[in-house]
Structure 1
């Protein structure tokens, strides 16, 4: 969710409270069934493609599963730190990027291979990835299913994201490099959402790996409750809900592909259908700019509240509130106008109520994008606490 859209804060707070390319790996077509995490292709990075702190790196393509447990393919990157690996191999941080877009041209690997500038989400993530590498972790980062691979990107599908974040750890181990079974999930915004769900599913989905916890920075959460309040009569005073139009566009693009039985188009105006149809052609900053002055009410032909769409959004996006076996560390800025702090306050309360070990740290005056820089050192310290880089 890495773009500068501005949510209407009271609406989100109310909802949260109520809820309390160029080389061979991209694109990859559908493959014969293989095990999740199966390494399908790897391409060594050039020295100028490595992030700071990496000794070597690869673009990888690997098998994973979507939210319906159907076979899928994702691309991503694998980085190794400098030095000699500890016994058992390098511990791993699986990093989830914030929103880049839903089209192949927005995919991190494809843009890196084409020597194109990174999207905002990737650029913001690079110092954090470098920090983890310098601390002695291997770092893997998924592009997510449908970005540079066959099919659509099911944006903010919690389960699909979690699978992609988890299976790239398996793929990294399949390279034959010294990569440990011990790992952390981490990410920012959309990636924080993915990292949280990877934590929740870890025991059942990847029992051969050993997850030690999660670092979630300004994670997307409880957005499904805010979206359920939208409809054609919702006003857009001063353009305050322009950003929610961007969010809604990408989510409905993904949900329409994930759940054709919903007839998502029936909830959209003619203009709304045109916007969702064209979502692949615009990366996040371009979509935001194209929707300046456009409120979500202009996209919707009927209210979301109480509809099948509302319940489907919850099923598609929601972070479960019980069944947590691993620690969660959430960091959020108090001045975040993309994912308001109220969302994480509600999430932390929900998870604690379900028995999870959760810490929520807030940084005064920090927004959605500068929170990564502010959280850089604390996130490294938390990672070392959860999973020491060397025994």
Structure 2
């Protein structure tokens, strides 16, 4: 993890590059979403169309909660859908740099990987000046978002998990992304967009790739009117069942209790899944689930390392739990690329590490084969020398270049594969203007270690101190 000294130096390096459009916002207390009236949907939500802007406000945003980010920012509360199609609301934060390209925007899906029911993990909360940084993953990925702002793009970053923090519920997250794009489009005149059909490219890694991949697959049928030019995603959890088996009992098993909480949220599969979990969970399991309901991703990793949700210590069905029809159905619904009518029509840039220790490489390779078999255009890039965290850093320049190419309409059609042996970054890979971003990513790469060695060691060492 980056330490506080690194965070300050990185933010200080990036800050002067972001064109300011100052806004006088005054002083406003940063409330948790559960306490902030802005997040409460109006009673008219049921009669509104998906993507309708229900409320809007200007906000002051920041690097890591305490260094002001001098870019105009808006938050939009918009209508989207629960898994069963009923109306729910979500918030997206829209960043507008001075001199922005006004006919397009980037939809940025940060990996907030949190199921806290009070909203403390939501990007919209963590982005605000003065907000305690409850979700360090979103905070660090904010540096990647800056690269798009520096390059002149308006950026929308939605709370795609919705009001119940439905972490892992891919279909809900995908529609949450698509409806946030509709909302930005509907609010376009205020944001300075000069067209009613702006071009859009989406980006997301890891948990953010759940939202990206499902938005890509659902868009042709759910939101065909959108002017989508491409999708860039990496470390994609395309098969939650396979991922569960892969990380259960490892240093990263802490993702699993929060995924159970997310999938069993009211707007996801709570009607059937929550009663099932309540009937089989042990006292220890209930304690872990309660912790996941109140904390964000990194805290959950440190809470549950090398433990197993398939153990009788966690629930009474033991290793048969994944065969339980209620849970199996919920997990099966998250299988990306399963149906031909859930295939992206815009080009996709897909990248993954063969040695990814959190999301199995087979998640990406199988998805590539499925989508290509259904006629999608996918450029699949394999990183032979990265881990999960390091590959987000190593793969970002390629994803960034894809975003520019997708907007330009120069991405080749059809499917292609390539393998990269890179384990270092060229500081000027994205041009001199973005060199500070690449230097910051180099620092993150060094902190993570080769194939995430330092991250794995840190989690293992912490686990030893609590067992």
- 216 and 328 in structure 1: CA distance in 2 versus 1, 3 angstrom threshold: same
| Deviation at residue 207 of structure 1 after TM alignment | 2.5
8 Å Cα contact 1:30/1:73 also seen in 2? no
Name structure 2 gaps, 5 residues minimum.
Answer: 2-29, 411-467
- Separation in structure 2 between the aligned mates of residue 389 and residue 80 of structure 1, nearest angstrom: 23
Alignment TM-score, normalising by the size of structure 1: 0.81
8 Å Cα contact 2:234/2:392 also seen in 1? yes
Other-structure match for 1:9: none
Other-structure match for 1:112: 127
Q: Write the mapping of 1:310-349 to structure 2, written as runs, cut at 5 A.
A: 310-321=327-338, 322-323=340-341, 324=343, 325-349=345-369
| Deviation at residue 105 of structure 1 after TM alignment | 1.5
- 304 and 74 in structure 1: CA distance in 2 versus 1, 3 angstrom threshold: same
8 Å Cα contact 2:160/2:174 also seen in 1? no
| Deviation at residue 162 of structure 1 after TM alignment | 0.7
Q: Deviations over 1:276-316 (max 9, x none)?
A: 23322121111111113422213232112432134313343
- Are 1:275 and 2:275 an aligned pair? no
| Deviation at residue 165 of structure 1 after TM alignment | 0.9
Return the structure number with greater relative CO, CA threshold 8 A, min gap 6.
1
Alignment counterpart, residue 55 of structure 2, candidates 24, 31, 41: 41
- 128 and 44 in structure 1: CA distance in 2 versus 1, 3 angstrom threshold: same
SS of the aligned residue for 1:198 comes to: helix
| Deviation at residue 350 of structure 1 after TM alignment | 2.3
- 67 and 300 in structure 1: CA distance in 2 versus 1, 3 angstrom threshold: same
Kindly tell me the number of residue pairs found equivalent between the two proteins. Answer: 355
Q: Deviations over 1:127-186 (max 9, x none)?
A: 32122223332211112244xx4xx22211111101111111122223222335321222
Q: Write the mapping of 1:294-313 to structure 2, written as runs, cut at 5 A.
A: 294-296=307-309, 297=311, 298-302=313-317, 303-313=320-330
Q: Write the mapping of 1:1-391 to structure 2, written as runs, cut at 5 A.
A: 21-22=30-31, 26-29=38-41, 31-32=43-44, 33=46, 34-46=48-60, 48=62, 55-83=71-99, 85=101, 89-103=102-116, 104-113=119-128, 114-117=130-133, 119-146=135-162, 149=163, 152-175=164-187, 176=189, 177-179=191-193, 180-227=197-244, 240-244=249-253, 246-257=254-265, 258-262=269-273, 263-296=276-309, 297=311, 298-302=313-317, 303-321=320-338, 322-323=340-341, 324=343, 325-388=345-408
- Separation in structure 2 between the aligned mates of residue 335 and residue 30 of structure 1, nearest angstrom: 47
Report which stretch shifted further, 111-120 or 274-283.
Answer: 111-120
- Separation in structure 2 between the aligned mates of residue 267 and residue 339 of structure 1, nearest angstrom: 27
State the structure with more CA Rg.
2
Name structure 1 gaps, 5 residues minimum.
Answer: 3-20
- 223 and 47 in structure 1: CA distance in 2 versus 1, 3 angstrom threshold: closer
8 Å Cα contact 2:291/2:300 also seen in 1? no
8 Å Cα contact 1:135/1:380 also seen in 2? no
- 31 and 216 in structure 1: CA distance in 2 versus 1, 3 angstrom threshold: farther
- Separation in structure 1 between the aligned mates of residue 316 and residue 112 of structure 2, nearest angstrom: 26
8 Å Cα contact 2:100/2:152 also seen in 1? no
- Separation in structure 1 between the aligned mates of residue 322 and residue 362 of structure 2, nearest angstrom: 21
- Separation in structure 1 between the aligned mates of residue 337 and residue 381 of structure 2, nearest angstrom: 20
8 Å Cα contact 1:99/1:284 also seen in 2? yes
- Separation in structure 1 between the aligned mates of residue 136 and residue 325 of structure 2, nearest angstrom: 34
SS of the aligned residue for 1:74 comes to: strand
